[in-house]
Amino acid sequence: MASLEEIRQERLRKLEILRKNGIEPYPAEVSIDHSLLELTNQFSQWENTNQVLQVAGRIMSIRGQGAITFIDLFDGTASFQCLLKKDDISEELFNLFIETVDIGDFIQVGGDLFTSSRGAKTLKIKNWKMLAKSLRPLPEKWHGLQDEEERFRRRYLDILTNPEVREMVEKRSKFWQTMRSFLLERAFLEVDTPILENTAGGAEAKPFTTHHNALDLDVYLRISPELWLKRLMVAGLPKVFEIGRVFRNEGMDAEHAQDYVHIEFYWAYADYEMGMSLIEELYRELGEKVFGTTKFNIKSFDVDLSKKWERYDYVSTIKEKTNIDIRVATLEEIENKLKELGVDYDKTGFNLNRAIDNLWKYCRKQIAGPGFLVNVPVMMEPLAKRRPDNPDFVERFQVILAGSELGKGFSELNDPIDQAGRFADQTKLREAGDDEAQMNDLDFVEALEYGMPPTCGFGVSERLFSFLMDKPIRETQLFPLMRPKE
């Protein structure tokens, strides 16, 4: 069996043969009449008319030898069978095809349509032209790329040779199109906000840092567009949303990546109850339009987005599943419970907030959903409005599906004095070693002092898509980050 380098050298030899025959193997000009999908759908219109049609695509297989050769052409819209027959083409073009063309090459072919003896729609080649000579062989048709790292590193080949991956890419696109259309139909305005920031805010996460040479300034890659979008509420825009990338310099696992697509919307004169109603409607529409169903099996959980969504109280759910009342428990008591439950957690900058959060994460893994986590203590959420009937808790909701949190929203805090105080509390946590606590954004507090209307905000990342696909998030990203080859 020839090595990869031997195959490459042989294809370079064929490249030179093309050039010696006056054929440019990478021409700029292409002249085609139809896509292969159009050829398939309108086949009866042109069959047996002797009309020469020009199409193009990549050769995915070559079968036969001698005077008759069948090839399968793929242009991204469909596959189509073509027949190269010595009697139907000039001897020069026939011989040049046999001598220089390989699986993986892009070619343009012209010919007429007929149905083969086996009933296959076929184009009989009258002429052909090289569009791009491939120098490396495609993965073997039936096995493709088996090693996960190689699949991710050469994702373009994985998409090309694996129909399931290609279908995932198409669903991913439809997922974001559905999100966008849902909000646009409800008069939300799509905007874009900065990715480089002086202060990384809007979420509890560790940011990436970089250097801005022109300003000689260290800046952060945003962890959320939240505080920018809220400024647009101050600006008087009643409904806004953004779909864009965010960056969080944290651990990698099946549910978490470091840079990913995220959507947030903000809705003036609305509260978290209105937000929950809208989200139920949105998630059902995503199921129906993207996946054709509202019923999913995710990580051994059966989830039906069309059923009545539950409400899970933060304090009582934790108490029910761990016998810990977080309103009175000490850090030591919660740490002891985490050890008893076998919960592994990051001890860097560990504090009462982190302890409670880890306890909740243990509990949520037992909840199928769909539903909303509500009634979170104010110390756990620096950006949500307090509940008027109990100011120790906030009007926050989180979507719970298949044991995980897949979207978070709240009645946004618009009291600048309360916001400044909560940022100050977060600063104390950062100074004590919690590098995920939020930074004190004085410019945002200043904006709030000009007045922001009652607002509901919500955000969710592409992790929702990976969950509905029941796949790890790296599997559903087009090009996940890889270490460079050594």
Which among 392, 362, 363, 352 is positioned nearest to 375, based on CA atoms?
Answer: 392
Is residue 336 domain-resident? no
The DSSP secondary-structure symbol of 147 reads S
The angle at the Cα of 194, spanning 476 to 240, to the nearest 5 degrees, equals 80
Residue 253 tokens read as 């696992």
CB 248 within 8 A of CB 464: no
Is residue 98 domain-resident? yes
DSSP codes joined into one string, 411-439: EB---HHHHHHHHHHHHHHHHTT-TTSPP
Residues 50 and 96 both lie in one domain? yes
Residue 141 pLDDT: 56
Residues 244 and 392 both lie in one domain? yes
How many domains is the chain partitioned into structurally? 2
The tally of CA atoms less than 13 A away on the side-chain side of residue 241 is 21
Is residue 314 domain-resident? no
CB 452 within 8 A of CB 233: yes
Is residue 293 domain-resident? yes
CB 444 within 8 A of CB 227: yes
What's the CATH code of the domain at 53? Answer: 2.40.50.140
What's the CATH code of the domain at 460? Answer: 3.30.930.10
The string of pLDDT tens digits covering residues 167-226 is 999 999 999 999 999 999 999 999 999 999 998 877 778 889 999 999 999 999 999 999
Residues 285 and 412 both lie in one domain? yes
CB 462 within 8 A of CB 256: no
Residues 459 and 413 both lie in one domain? yes
CB 195 within 8 A of CB 221: yes
Final residue of a domain: which of 94, 115, 132? 132
Residues 236 and 383 both lie in one domain? yes
> Residue 379 — φ and ψ, nearest 5°?
-65, -15
Residues 17 and 116 both lie in one domain? yes
Provide the 10 A C-beta neighbour count for residue 77: 15
Is residue 434 domain-resident? yes
Residues 8 and 72 both lie in one domain? yes
Which among 346, 352, 336 is positioned nearest to 428, based on CA atoms?
Answer: 352
Is residue 207 domain-resident? yes
Residues 165 and 114 both lie in one domain? no
What pTM did the predictor assign? 0.89
Residue 285 pLDDT: 98
Residues 217 and 302 both lie in one domain? yes
Show the beta-strand stretches assigned E in 181-282: 189-190, 196-197, 209-212, 217-221, 239-247, 259-268
pLDDT by 10-residue block (mean), the chain, 486 residues: 92 97 95 96 94 97 89 96 94 95 97 94 97 93 66 91 94 98 98 92 84 94 94 97 94 86 98 97 98 95 95 95 93 91 80 89 94 93 91 96 95 93 85 76 92 97 96 93 83
The string of pLDDT tens digits covering residues 438-480 is 777 889 999 999 999 999 999 999 999 999 999 999 999 999 9
CA–CA separation, 464 vs 445, rounded Å? 31
For the chain, what is the total number of helices (H) and then of strands (E)?
16, 21
Final residue of a domain: which of 132, 150, 171? 132
Residue 143 pLDDT: 55
Final residue of a domain: which of 97, 132, 167? 132
Parent domain of 166: 159-309+369-476
Is residue 152 domain-resident? no
Residues 422 and 380 both lie in one domain? yes
Show the beta-strand stretches assigned E in 299-423: 301-304, 310-313, 371-374, 376-377, 386-387, 390-394, 396-401, 404-411
Residue 142 pLDDT: 45
CA–CA separation, 356 vs 360, rounded Å? 6
Residue 263 pLDDT: 98
Which among 373, 392, 446, 386 is positioned nearest to 413, based on CA atoms?
Answer: 386
Residue 199 pLDDT: 85
Residues 279 and 244 both lie in one domain? yes
CA–CA separation, 96 vs 17, rounded Å? 9
Sheet holding 371-374, edge to edge: 189-190, 239-247, 259-268, 455-461, 404-411, 396-401, 371-374, 310-313
Is residue 255 domain-resident? yes
Residues 383 and 275 both lie in one domain? yes
Residue 383 pLDDT: 86
The angle at the Cα of 372, spanning 369 to 373, to the nearest 5 degrees, equals 110
337 vs 319, 325, 379, 431, CA distance in Å? Answer: 12, 11, 20, 26
**Residues making up the chain, counted from first to last:** 486
